[in-house]
Amino acid sequence: MDIVIRTAVPDDYAELGDITAQAYLDDGLLDNNEDDSYERSLRDVAGRAADAEVLVAALGGVLLGGVTFAPPGSRMADIAGPGEAEFRMLTVARAGRGRGAGEALVRACVERARAVEGVTRLVLSTQAQSPAAHRIYERLGFVRTPERDWSPVPTVPLLTYALELEAPEA
């Protein structure tokens, strides 16, 4: 069976929220979050879907993970500037890791960014404790942009990556 990438539907929201929050918790990515506000954001798939495109990876009808694609102008974008799209909250359930779901979700974001007129770059933020994700980004051509690194709160430094998008052939 092949992994299917599709836009999340309301029936997916609760499950994807649980998968996302649990993956961040399991990977130790929420341990500096004193008030759990980011965990609430991770679980709020409906809120993300209202202002961005939430994608899911499914295999045989089972959700493996998801990502939020923020086109230009989306309130979900943290670091995207003019001519940039962004993706956030890439996650794959522990049971689904190693099957290509994460890479398939990133590739779907790249395709969407290339399809948006005027977008020349796709950007993202990630935590240093996510080496498997960093390997995916680098394998797909993303490069580190340390000049853009930032911290949403003082205890959570984020690394940034960008992918320059080629212009479509005429």
Q: What is the mean pLDDT of residues 140-159?
A: 94
pLDDT of res. 141:
98
**Burial class of residue 158 (count of CB atoms within 10 Å of its CB; 0-12, 13-18, 19+):** middle
- In the predicted structure, residue 58 carries a pLDDT above the cut 50: yes
Q: Which fold has domain 4-164?
A: Aminopeptidase (3.40.630)
pLDDT digit string (tens) for 73-123? 999 999 999 999 999 999 999 888 899 999 999 999 999 999 999 999 999
If residue 136 lies in a helix (H) or strand (E), which one and from where to where? Answer: helix 131-139
Closest CA to 125 of 80, 91, 164: 80
